[in-house]
Structure 1
Amino acid sequence: MLGSRIAIVGVGQVGAAAAYAIILGSIATELLLVDDNVSLRDGQVCDLSDVAYSCNSRTRVRAASHHEAGQCDIIVITAGSRHTIGQTNLEYAYRNISIVKTIVDAMTPFKSDAVLLVVSNPVDLLTSLALQLSKLPPSQVLGSGTYLDSMRIRGMLADKIGVAAKSIDLFVLGVQGESQVTAWSAATIGGVPINESLSKEDVINRSDLSNECKHRSQSIVRAKGATPFGIGSVVSSICCAIIQDKGTVHPISHFQPTLGCCFSLPVVLGKKGVTRKVQMPLSFEEDAQITDSATALKAMIDQVNNSN
């Protein structure tokens, strides 16, 4: 952790929640906050500094420029517009594409070993474009992807069957959103395949659980405008794995050369970002669903590139 620095670009609800979690965990020596809204940024710096003081965190918080952010060990992009009523998915995507392009351009050139973590939505599309724009190696450009969905469905399953969530290995993979895929075929409980470990009393409707997991973020956003705490904790966990070179496995969005875009599959995370990919045995149907959604994503990326 010695001398480690994390920057968060965009300090609204999600950025502030991520910063709060990072401070509580003392994950970095210094946390830099960046936002075009200088008043908001400075207010968050003061408020979050109080958190650092009160919990005796080793993380110190300060305001910074985009250029300074680009020289940090990890740069987290949470900036983006909200999906407003009446706005099409395409309009929403293009608005956030413009925002992320502006941010990446302002931070370039990056420190050569910097890890760029995209949280803004649509996360896989923006991660793919950030990789193109940043000129960083593919292993150093990541998206939060389906990490939160994977943690969520493990918790939902744990509540239903009375098993601790940490004893369940179950991943949500692919392009985050409507086409994401729950990898039930590879799920285990305590290392035992799920089909062998569940009793008749533990019968669950897997499709219903997957759909509930998929749409829970939408219901939270309808109720309170954003999902800051869940994604904030995920960002903190990813940053911790990188800064501390943990070598732990996480389902995050990263570049898939065979399909030419970024989406979520399990990887090992360390100081240099993705240190190794994990081959997960999926069913034919799961693999086909992931490929179909990635193909559609690549078509969207090509459309964006051709429009510029």
Structure 2
Amino acid sequence: MQQHIRKVAIIGTGLVGSSAAYSILNQGICDELIMIDINKERAIGESLDLSHCIDFTNSRTKVHAGTYQDLGDVDIVVITAGPPPKPGQTRLDTLGIGAKIMEDMIPQIMASGFNGIFLIASNPVDIITYLVWKISGLPRNRVIGTGTSLDSSRLKTYLSEILDVDPRSIYGYTMGEHGDSQFAAWSHVSIGGKPLLQILDERKGEFGHIDLDQIVEDVKKVGFEILKRKGTTYYGIGNAIAFITKSIFNDDHRIIALSCVLDGEYGESELCTGVPAIITREGIKEIIELRLTVEEQEKFRKSTAVLRDYLASLGYEEKILATV
């Protein structure tokens, strides 16, 4: 009886990578987990520590350190390598270092024979996802960024506290850049199927104090609030990585706000940004094109313009295109 071994590799075993590994292991998402880092001793240490969790979990996952040469038969390569933004920086300010890491790393991964799915969490995630797609040569459905999945979760968390409802009963997304130009598609946010804007209109006495613009600002800035207090964020994004990985393996057809390569969707091409998409065993099955309001369309356009301008200003678009 033949059985497919579900294999995941995590490149970058810092706080984000190790948190993602911990979530993946505890949920029994894969059969084998490979930890890779430029600091090989760190990767070995994390692997040993994680392997000691197995006795307390419901499934056995083999955990070990590895190299790029081990990735030929891996299903999903998770990339978390890269510097977190420092106080006063935006995620886009880490692009220079992140791009150089990808230029060195991705060809080595592809040389192993890797033909699976890339899941990227390294910031600035939208641009890094685009670079990985260009360098790897893989189809766009198999190069995925975590995008605004975490931002959408944060949005639901804030709304759940205000409306006193489980965040899992709230449906909606933030879209665009995983950064300062993102926006909430309020016209498509619903609570148990009822549009949020309708609820706010009908219950002005109870919810008239809610400032939707401030909620979006809070979502944008909360990562940096966490950074100021503890150095960086890792539990939320670590669990988001595990959630997306599980959705891929389970062929869930779940809709998640991810950084996707656009090819005409929302009037954009040759760009990665956060949009709702159906995730399956083959990666992105379909990008969901929401009917945005005029105001939301303009916010989306401005967000994609930020990404295009920043990439072009650093010269990386031409540089990457010259390598493929």
Interval of TM-score (by shorter of Structure 1 and Structure 2):
over 0.9
1:234 aligns with 2:244: no
Query: Which segment drifts farther, 278-287 or 81-90?
Result: 81-90
2:68 counterpart letter in structure 1: H
Cα RMSD (Å) of the superposition? Answer: 1.9
Contact 1:80 1:100 in 2 (8 A): no
Per the TM alignment, residue 107 of structure 1 is displaced from its structure 2 partner at its CA by: 0.4
Question: What per-residue deviation string (whole Å, max 9, x for no partner) do you get for residues 165-191 of structure 1?
Answer: 111112000111000011111111111
1:273 aligns with 2:278: no
1:8 aligns with 2:14: no
Q: Equivalent residue for 1:214?
A: 220
Change (3 A) 1:300 1:160: same
2:43 to 41, 44, 68: 41
Per the TM alignment, residue 112 of structure 1 is displaced from its structure 2 partner at its CA by: 6.2
Q: Equivalent residue for 1:177?
A: 179
Q: Equivalent residue for 1:225?
A: 231
Contact 2:117 2:283 in 1 (8 A): yes
Q: How many residues align?
A: 308
Per the TM alignment, residue 91 of structure 1 is displaced from its structure 2 partner at its CA by: 5.6
1:291 counterpart letter in structure 2: R
Query: Which segment drifts farther, 265-274 or 60-69?
Result: 60-69
Question: What per-residue deviation string (whole Å, max 9, x for no partner) do you get for residues 170-213 of structure 1?
Answer: 20001110000111111111111112234220231101111011
TM-score (norm 2): 0.90
Contact 2:129 2:259 in 1 (8 A): yes
Contact 2:79 2:122 in 1 (8 A): yes
Task: Determine the C-alpha separation between the residues in 1 that align with 2:14 and 2:91.
Answer: 21
Q: Equivalent residue for 1:114?
A: 116
1:130 to 113, 129, 132: 132
Per the TM alignment, residue 71 of structure 1 is displaced from its structure 2 partner at its CA by: 3.2
Alignment of 1:185-224 (within 5 A): 185-198=187-200, 199-200=203-204, 201-203=206-208, 204-224=210-230
Per the TM alignment, residue 242 of structure 1 is displaced from its structure 2 partner at its CA by: 0.3
Task: Determine the C-alpha separation between the residues in 2 that align with 1:182 and 1:26.
Answer: 33
Query: Which segment drifts farther, 48-57 or 236-245?
Result: 48-57
Task: Determine the C-alpha separation between the residues in 1 that align with 2:158 and 2:101.
Answer: 34
Q: Equivalent residue for 1:305?
A: 317
Q: Equivalent residue for 1:264?
A: 274
Contact 1:8 1:78 in 2 (8 A): yes
Alignment of 1:32-181 (within 5 A): 32-84=34-86, 92-109=94-111, 111=113, 113-181=115-183
Query: Which segment drifts farther, 274-283 or 10-19?
Result: 274-283
Task: Determine the C-alpha separation between the residues in 2 that align with 1:175 and 1:127.
Answer: 12
Q: What is the DSSP-based 3-state SS (H/G/I as helix, E as strand, rest coil) of the residue aligned with 2:52?
A: helix
Task: Determine the C-alpha separation between the residues in 2 that align with 1:70 and 1:256.
Answer: 27
Contact 2:72 2:115 in 1 (8 A): no
Per the TM alignment, residue 111 of structure 1 is displaced from its structure 2 partner at its CA by: 4.9
